[in-house]
Amino acid sequence: MNVIETFGHGGNLLTASERFGVSPGDFLDYSANINPLGMPKSVKRMLVASIADVTQYPDPGHRVFRAALATRLGLPKEWLLPANGAAEAMALAILGLQPQTVGVVYPCFSEYAQLATQFGAKVVSCYGVEENGYKPEMVEVYRLFEAADLVFVGSPNNPTGILYQPDELVKMADWAEQTKTWLVVDEAFLDFVEEERQYTLADQLESFPHVILMRSMTKMYAIPGLRLGYAIAHPDVICRMREKQVSWSVNALALRAGELCLQEQEYETKTRELIAGERTFLTSFIREELGWKVWAGEANFLLVRSPKEKTAEQLQELLGKKGILIRSCAMYPGLTAHDVRLAVRGREENEQLVSALLDIWCGGRWER
């Protein structure tokens, strides 16, 4: 594994600092897919005003935040489980449901297979089709349901950005019920998708008790250091997951931040507008000016393939020396040694990235 991805994720600023001699706070970080608007002002004010709250235990039942979440989603609170980020919710699904075999669709978020292996499950897989944006053939996905006890699917998927259509989600949910296989849909990046295309099974879960939805609040609201996410599922499944959750795993400041974030609908709309425009800007530049291949997807990141003369690790090295950190995807099963993931950020930052890419690409030749 590339040294920058020592821990298997982007946003590893300390390791990058040691590698490139740049202060962690001085990097332009395109390796982590966080809202470029930064955390809402209401959350910043709360964090400053609530510092004394760290002397008290957080509510282990997450009652106030859970109630606010239920109101925002229009779901009974019994169908919701707050967690220390979506990653904890995924772990609780595996711990609570005890699958012996876990299915994944490569390329995908590394945590699916990592958690499965960590908790003693066997991993089976199928692969997305490159010509179809790395979306898999549905017949291959069905075979996963036949072979596995639990199947992970990302929508939008990381790192490809593909979004499953409503009929595809319903089809997989039907397969889950037919085969008695758990379907876990990772919706960590769904908030960044245009509202009319935020396809989800959240309002159909009474018909699909084998479906579990995972959501993150750290990415949309730019609070990855606080750690906050949640699961949506049938109350029986939520109970099984909660039984495996460590007390106080969600801290008091994260819970309070979550309550405030749920009120930030104007901020969410502004974010989606920004991401849509800047995703188009970066995609056009990479395709038209650089001539590189890019899969734009529908989330707040792009999957990009660099020309054969330089690998993803070499491109990461060149940009790292310029203070720009990107995510190598060379270690993702199903991708190549030339694939990288770029976050979508604001225009000023994106223009810095564009300038750096032009510098190192030099009219179709790499800088020497």
Give pLDDT tens digits for 280-297: 999 999 999 999 999 989
Both tokens assigned to 350: 């994106």
Q: Which helix (H) or strand (E) holds 236?
A: helix 235-242
Q: Which residues 6+ apart lie within 8 Å of 17 measured at CB?
A: 23, 24, 27
Is this prediction's pTM over 0.85? Answer: yes
The beta-carbon contacts of 1-7 under 8 Å, at least 24 apart in sequence, are 1/331, 2/312, 2/313, 2/316, 2/328, 2/330, 2/331, 4/31, 4/316, 4/320, 4/325, 4/328, 5/327, 5/328, 5/331
The segment(s) of the chain belonging to CATH 3.40.640.10 are: 41-263
With a cut of 80, say whether residue 84 has pLDDT above it.
yes
Distance (Å, whole) CA 238 – CA 82: 10
Asked if pLDDT for residue 6 goes beyond 60, the answer is: no
What CATH topology corresponds to 41-263? Answer: Aspartate Aminotransferase; domain 2 (3.40.640)
CATH 3.90.1150.10 location in the chain: 3-30+266-361
Give the pLDDT confidence score for residue 364 in this predicted structure. Answer: 65
pLDDT above 90: residue 124: yes
Please tell me the distance from the alpha carbon of residue 100 to that of residue 116, in angstroms, as a whole number.
9
- C-alpha 150/C-alpha 140 separation (Å) is 15
Identify the three-state secondary structure at position 316.
Answer: helix
- Pick from 96, 79, 34, 137: nearest CA to 246: 96
Q: Which of 358, 362, 359, 346 shows the shortest CA–CA distance to 29? A: 346
pLDDT at 337: 95
What are the b/e assignments for 262-291, b being 16+ CB within 10 Å? bebeebbeebbebbbebbeebbebbeeebe
Question: Is residue 24 very low, low, confident or very high in pLDDT (cuts 50, 70, 90)?
Answer: low
Q: What is the mean pLDDT of residues 304-319?
A: 90
Look at residue 14 and tell me whether its pLDDT is greater than 90.
no
- 32 in the Ramachandran plot: left (φ > 0), alpha (ψ -120 to 50) or beta? beta
48-52, 70-74, 149-153: segment of lowest average pLDDT: 48-52
Q: Work out the mean pLDDT of the chain and round it to a whole number.
A: 93
* Average pLDDT for 122-149: 96
Residue-level pLDDT at 361: 86
CATH superfamily of 3-30+266-361: Aspartate Aminotransferase, domain 1 (3.90.1150.10)
Provide Rg for the chain, Cα atoms: 20
Rounded CA separation 247/62 (Å): 10
At residue 66, does pLDDT exceed 60?
yes
Q: What are the φ and ψ backbone dihedral angles of 326, each rounded to 5 degrees? A: -120, 170
Looking at residue 76, its pLDDT comes to 97
Looking at residue 44, its pLDDT comes to 96
- Does residue 368 carry a pLDDT above 60? no
Do 119 and 93 form a contact (C-beta atoms < 8 A)?
Answer: no
